[in-house]
Amino acid sequence: MTVADSKKLTGFSDSVIRFLESIEYRRIDNADDLEDVARLRYKAFTAVGLAPQSGPLLIDELDFKPNAHVLGIFYDEQLVSTIRVHHVTAAERDSVAVSHFPDVMNPLLDAGKTFIDPVRFAADPELMRDYPALPYLTLRVATMATVYFDVDYCLSVIKPNHRAFYKRIFQSVEMTEPRFFERYNSNIELHGADAHQLKRTLFKRFPFFSSQPSERKMMFAPRSELMMPPLTIRPTARYALQRAG
């Protein structure tokens, strides 16, 4: 990155990009890696009182759907966070948003709208204290999926205490009234960010969400399209920002 490019970054964005350059993304598509992800989910969800009582692993049928993409974020070869995104279309409706809010989602899908539904965000609670940028680098997966699949909305299925964060970062708006779910013992909200507006503003406000097409392809393209499936995926935010400059 040139000196001129560096001056475009705020202190916050620059610090996040510096941390981003120390991490790797990995596609999670084998049993051993998925069990590691499930253990991290359990650790993270236990810390906020959301883990089930039935056992230490958190894997569900949505992890294995054709429209699911499970990603792991690694720092110093250690799995530190994870997220799952579903590319939701009229033909492939498997997602948490659709199962929790079918009366809202199905009419939109019938009308041809498309979505990224990022869920199962989990970060090591011990590392979160030392690396507060970790949520941004994890949610970066959702922004890349939004661009790669060229959808209409990026969704957020969240608890009320997370509302302010998603509105501030993604300019998300409520799509329906909050609903109480006994399994969470909490109200759950459905928010959506207009993907076309997001792409016009997000990467200028928060350059660390930027990426190059090659990175997005390695994350989300079918294995059959990749001549050599990647073991790890290196972030390209600095290169994308330099090219945009």
Give the pLDDT confidence of 224-236 residue by residue, as tens digits: 888 887 889 999 9
Domain boundaries, the chain: 3-238
Residue 49's contacts (CB-CB under 8 Å, 6 or more residues apart) are: none
Using pLDDT thresholds of 50, 70 and 90, give the confidence band for residue 6: very low
Using pLDDT thresholds of 50, 70 and 90, give the confidence band for residue 1: very low
Q: Mean pLDDT score of the chain, rounded to an integer?
A: 90
Model pLDDT, residue 50 = 66
Fold of the CATH domain 3-238: Aminopeptidase (3.40.630)
Distances (CA, A) of 142 to 24, 71, 119, 125, 216: 15, 10, 9, 20, 11
Residue 57's contacts (CB-CB under 8 Å, 6 or more residues apart) are: 35, 38, 39, 42
More confident residue, 135 or 48: 135
Four-CA torsion 193, 64, 149, 74, nearest 10 degrees: 80
Using pLDDT thresholds of 50, 70 and 90, give the confidence band for residue 210: very high
Q: Considering the entire predicted model, what is its pTM?
A: 0.90
Using pLDDT thresholds of 50, 70 and 90, give the confidence band for residue 57: low
Residue 168's contacts (CB-CB under 8 Å, 6 or more residues apart) are: none
Could you give the CA distance from residue 25 to residue 23 in angstroms, rounded to a whole number?
A: 7
Q: 54 pLDDT exceeds 80? A: no
Indicate the SS3 state at residue 62: helix
Model pLDDT, residue 47 = 82
Give the pLDDT confidence of 86-123 residue by residue, as tens digits: 999 999 999 999 999 999 999 999 999 999 999 999 99
